[in-house]
Every structure is written in C-alpha cells, then in structure tokens.
Chain A
Amino acid sequence: MAQQTVVAERAALQVEPSWRARLRAITTPAFFIGPALLLILIFFFIPVILTILISLTDMSVATISDINFVGLKNYERIWRSRTTMKILKNTFIYVGFTLTLFNVGMALILSLITTHIPERVGTTFRTFWLLPRITPSVIYAIMWTWFTADAPYGIVNQFLSPFGITPKNWLNAQPWLVVIAANGFVGTSFGMIIFTSAIHAIPVDYLRAALVDGASTLQRIRYVILPMIRWPILFVVTYQTLSLLASFEYILLLTDGGPGFYTTEVWSLYAYHRALSNYFGNVQFGFGAALAAILVIIGVIASVVYLRVFRFSEMVAEPKIEVL
C-alpha cells in the first residue's frame, strides 16, 4: 500500500522536461567548458594535426618550393635509423632519473621535511629553493658549467679533492650526472610547492588521529600523508613527465647533446636539431615533425599508464551533484 503511493507520487513528479530545460542542460555545461575547450583546440589539437600533416611530407629548406607528400616515409626512416634506439634510451634515462630522483623524489622529501619543522624555517628554505627557477636558464646553465669546470676553476673539484678524487671536467666525465642534477634542482621546486600545499591541506584531525592510533612519523607519512596526497603526486608525475619529454633547453646549453656522438641527445633535442637547427643548414621540417609526433604519442601513452597505475578511477568519487 505504502509502496504504491510512493510509485504513484514518483510518476506524478516525472513531468516531461520542456525543450527549454533540455536546451539549458546543454548550454550551461557548454558555457563553462567552452573556453577551455577552445584553448585546447587552438593550442593543442590544431598544432598536433599540423605537425602530423607536415610529418607526412618531405618539407625542408631544400624542398620548400616543391613540397611532396611522402606518406609514412619519415616514420620509416626513424624506424630504420640506428640512432633512434640510442636517442630513445637517452630519453628514458633523462626523464626517468630526473623525475624519480628530483622532480618527485626530492620534492616529496623536501616538502615532508619542511612541513615537519618549524613553519618559518620551512618557508625560508623553500623560498631559497625557488631561486634557480627565477634565474634565466642561460645564466643557470653557465653557472653549472663553472661549478663543474676542470681545476683550478670548478667548485665541485674543490669540494671533492680533499676526499682524494682527482679534479676533472665533470661535464665531460659525467655528462648525465650533471644534466640530471641541473634539471632536477630546478624541477624539484614545482613538486615541492604542490606537495607542500597538499600536505598543509590535510585536515589536522587525521594527523592527530594517526598519532593517537600509535603511528610513528614514518608510519604516519606512509599510511596517512602519502595516500592523502596521491592525487597531487599523480599530477606532478604526469605533468613533469610530459614537460621533461618536451624540454631540452638545459641539455642544449650544457652539452648540446654531447660530449661525443649523441651521448646526451634526447628525443626533443634530436627533433630540434633535425627540424630547426641542422648543422649543415638543411633543416628537415618533415622529418622533425615526425619525431615530434612520436613524442606526443609517447606522452599520451605515459599519461594513460599513470592513470592506470595510480588507479585514478578509485580516487574520483561519484559526483555528489547529479543535476546541473
């Protein structure tokens, strides 16, 4: 009986929505999402499509007046080239180590430390760590070449010689170490800021509850803080992977892909060299575009993998509001 009433009431309430309401159900979301969609369209999709189109041609300085459609030839060339493997490996080394050691690892450690010491000390420390980011890249890179220069100039050598390590030009001896460290010290600050604010945003009751429940500092970090900042971590990992994949300015300034044959040449630098700064003056736009297109694909694959690994769908709760 009671059930019947409820059903009847429901039916009575289910009025056909008017066309106005239906239109509004479309226009309201469009109004809010529209500007962002437009930006993505203009600055991401169109360039990507242009890049892919160019990558299907033989466009270069030599052929600029007579561009031919060459199909997948540029991709075939990349696939067959022996350099490709080397560049790919370099890219993995560069992105992998900078990301794990600095952009995420060091950033996490620093934000955890600076949120567990007195507030003022922590803030001061973080501010200092931001200095390289506001230093012009060229100056920052030159400073690193000075740091690592051979005796009698390099500071690194002066620190290490008391330990019996022979002075050398570190940029030549350990190019990866220097490239990763130079990038890392700048890259760390981004994650550090995001993680610090995420840690500060954890309601204090959770941390108190963890203390009362008997957690040591490390246990509290592992079981309470890290799970609660999983989303910012995913964001930083994804964002920094993509920006590292695309970034090459410090490598360009420090080693320019050397020393020697492609020792520190990463994918984006390779694309740059091929497409925009060829030594022989024959700039190959088509080939470079193909390289760039592959980079985009690698980036998309990486993002998808991250979303899976971090179980993104678990983190996103069902929306609490179902009508707009």
Chain B
Amino acid sequence: MEVRLERLSKHFGSVVAVDDLTLHIKSGEFVALLGPSGCGKTTTLLMLAGIYRPTGGEIWFGDRLVNDVLPKDRNIGMVFQSYALYPHMTVFENITFPLKLKKVPKEVMREKAQRVADMMQIGHLMDRRPAQLSGGQQQRVALARALVKEPDILLFDEPLSNLDAKLRLTMRGEIKRLQHDLDITSIYVTHDQVEAMTMADRIAVLRDGRLQAFATPDELYNRPRNLFVAGFIGSPPMNFLNARLTAQNGQAIVEGNGFRITLPEDLGRKALSQAQREEVIYGIRPEHIRLDPDGEVEAEIYVIEPLGREDLLDCRLPDGTLLGVLVPSGHGVKIGEKVRLKFQLDHSQLFDPHTEQSLLWN
C-alpha cells in the first residue's frame, strides 16, 4: 500500500507538533521517522493510525483519502513502545483480539494466531499473561498482534527502546527480515539514528515538526543537505569548524583557526558557486580524519575514549575547539601529546552559517 502525506500538520492549541509535512512512501517500503525527542514523530504516527485528526493536510492510503476514516477501518497494525499488551488477557487472547472484534470464526482465529505465533517463535507461550513474559517476548507478542490481521501498513513507535542492547540488535534484524518477507509498507519511529540507518530503506528526518530530509541512509550520511541532518546522522557526530572560503589561483581554500586546506576541484567549484559569503562551516566526520605526521592540522590529544576496535580521540585545536577523530586502536598516542591530523578532503562538507544549508548538495 502506497502512503502519501500531503502538507500534513497538527496543532495542539498553540503548539505546532507537525508542520507542513509532505512524504510519499512507496508500497512495501520501510521508512524511518527519525528526530530528537518532541519533534513530532509519535504525533505523525498517530495521525496515520487515525487516532489524531490532522489540523491540516491530507493522508492518502493508495488512492483512498483517509483523513476521516476511523482507525478500525484503516487496516493498520501498530506496535507501541510500551507494547500495550492487555494485562488481563493471555497471549492467545491478545493476539486474537483484533480477529475477535471482526467476528472471525474460532477455528480460523486459532489457525491464524498459531501461524503468526510460530513465526514470532512464541507458540509455546500462548497461555501466559503479559506479566509472565520477558520484555523481548512481550515485544514479539505485540508484533504478532499487529501482524495477525494481515495489515496493509505497519506502524512502529520506538518498539525496541525498552530492550537491552543485544536483544535490540536481534529484534532489529528480525523486524527488518519480517518486513522484507511480508512486503508490508512500514513506518518506523525512532530517535536512534543507528536503528534508522540499519533498518530503513529511506529515512525522514524531523526537527520541531518540520521535515529536514527524506532520503536513503547512504545519501543522508554522505550528502547531508543541511547542518542539522549532518550533525544528527552519524555516530560519533560530524565535526564542525568555523572557517572562511576563498578562491586563490582558481583553487578553493578553506581557512580557519590553525588550519588551512585546499578543497578537491569538483567540491571546490560547487562550493564557490553556491557560497553567498566568505564565512562557512566546514564539516568532517571523525572517521575521515587520521593521524599523519604530514597532516595539515596541528592538535593536542585531550581525551582518549576506547571503543574496542577503534579509539575516539578528542583533539584540541590551538583555538580550543575539540575535534573527534576515529582511529584504529593501537595508535600509541597519549593524552597531552601533540599530533598532526590529516583530513580526507573528498569527504568535506560545507554549510552556510546563516541558512544552515549545504553548499555542496542543494
């Protein structure tokens, strides 16, 4: 089922929770709604579910305008962060609840419930109550309840945030595989960018109710269109340095406190043609900087954070700015040591400090 949001907005009194949101989601696509707390993800999802009525705009399921369609007539499955399993019902009763409401015959109900329960590997828990299940098992029951009615659209509201790190990883894989196999259009709310990056076909990044970007994980990571997206996507986050962009001898030079680099030709040309002023924000990811005696930037090691396979070095530039640098462990440097850093210049990002738009990707 194709889903289209057209200029959707939702106000709560004077609070604008969702503002002029337009999204076209393809049939069978897995889309993540990503953004910091309070940016309107849940509100958007509840409008899709039919629980909130939009203040403005339209929601289309295929060629059906559903603004005024009741939740029960939308044929959606939803998984909540709290799981929302009815505590007074057994697992079997929970899973079959949507079917019971539709007055599906008993045998059909039992058969369908058994099928999804086996798929979710909870077939042996049918007689338990939610309180007698672990968090991971509850999560599976919630998924089974969403799937049992063979929904056209699946909605997830931060379904993994109450699980431990390892289980989250497992469930992440399982949900993705399940969605792929069943080919159900899915909208997945999360504030965890790793979750969004690993699971989604496309990610819609929201901030204060406004859409910041809607693109594939690869594009968000490599070609962020604005400062917010660049800073929000990627972990550890991108480094930003205040700098000046000038053309010298036909080359684009970025110059800041304690560093001076020459941009690769294609990036430089794009940046120069887009730039409105000399001031720019130069962005570079920690994984695109390395220690190199020939590096163009001098810095002092401030903190070392071992991450296992790699270490995150916080390096202090002469003006006090901290720069995250991700290097393989076994680099041998110590806190307080002076080092030189080399940027992988073809991964440079440039933003206008006033409009916060990228000078490269718009």
- Name A's B-contacting residues (CB within 8 A): 203, 205-206, 208-209, 211-216, 219, 223-224, 227-228, 230, 317
Contact = CB atoms under 8 A, between A and B. Distances in A.
B84 A209 contact: yes
B68 to A, nearest CB: 15
B97 A208 contact: no
Contact of B80 (A208, A214, A219, A227): A208
B49 A212 contact: yes
Given A206-B84, A227-B88, A317-B131, A212 B76 contact: yes
B187 to A, nearest CB: 13
8 contacts: A206-B84, A208-B46, A208-B51, A211-B71, A212-B49, A213-B149, A230-B88, A317-B131
Most B C-beta atoms less than 10 A away, residue of A211, A224, A227, A228: A211
Nearest to A224: B86
A213 B101 contact: yes
B274 interface: no
Contacts of A203: 82, 84
Contacts of B101: 213-216, 219, 223
Nearest to A219: B101
B324 interface: no
Contacts of B86: 206, 209, 223-224, 227
Given A213-B145, A214-B149, 19 more contacts: A203-B82, A205-B80, A205-B84, A206-B84, A206-B86, A208-B46, A208-B80, A209-B78, A209-B80, A209-B84, A212-B49, A212-B51, A212-B72, A213-B97, A214-B71, A214-B72, A216-B101, A227-B88, A228-B88
B98 A214 contact: yes
Closest 7 CB pairs of A and B: A214-B72, A209-B84, A205-B84, A213-B98, A227-B88, A211-B71, A212-B78
A212 B102 contact: no
A215 B72 CA distance: 7
B291 to A, nearest CB: 45
Given A203-B82, A205-B80, A212 B88 contact: no
Interface in B142-193: 145, 149
B224 interface: no
Contacts of A206: 84, 86
Nearest to B78: A212
Contacts, number: 57
B77 interface: yes
A211 B145 contact: no
Contacts of B84: 203, 205-206, 208-209
A205 B71 CA distance: 14
A219 B77 CA distance: 18
Interface of B: 46, 49-51, 71-72, 76-78, 80-82, 84, 86-88, 97-98, 101-102, 131, 145, 149
B97 A211 contact: no
B2 to A, nearest CB: 20
A228 B76 CA distance: 24
Contacts of B98: 213-214
Nearest to A228: B88
Most A C-beta atoms less than 10 A away, residue of B46, B81, B98: B98
Contacts of B77: 212
Contacts of A213: 72, 97-98, 101, 145, 149
Most B C-beta atoms less than 10 A away, residue of A208, A216, A219: A208
Most B C-beta atoms less than 10 A away, residue of A205, A224, A228, A230: A205
B50 A211 contact: yes
Most A C-beta atoms less than 10 A away, residue of B72, B76, B102: B72
A276 to B, nearest CB: 46
A138 B149 CA distance: 59
A83 to B, nearest CB: 45
B49 A208 contact: yes
Contacts of B78: 208-209, 212
Most A C-beta atoms less than 10 A away, residue of B50, B76, B77, B88: B88
Contacts of A228: 87-88
Contacts of A216: 72, 101
Contacts of A211: 49-51, 71-72
Contacts of A209: 78, 80, 84, 86
Contacts of B149: 213-214
A317 B50 CA distance: 34
A89 B152 CA distance: 59
Nearest to A215: B101
A213 B78 CA distance: 8
A213 B82 CA distance: 16
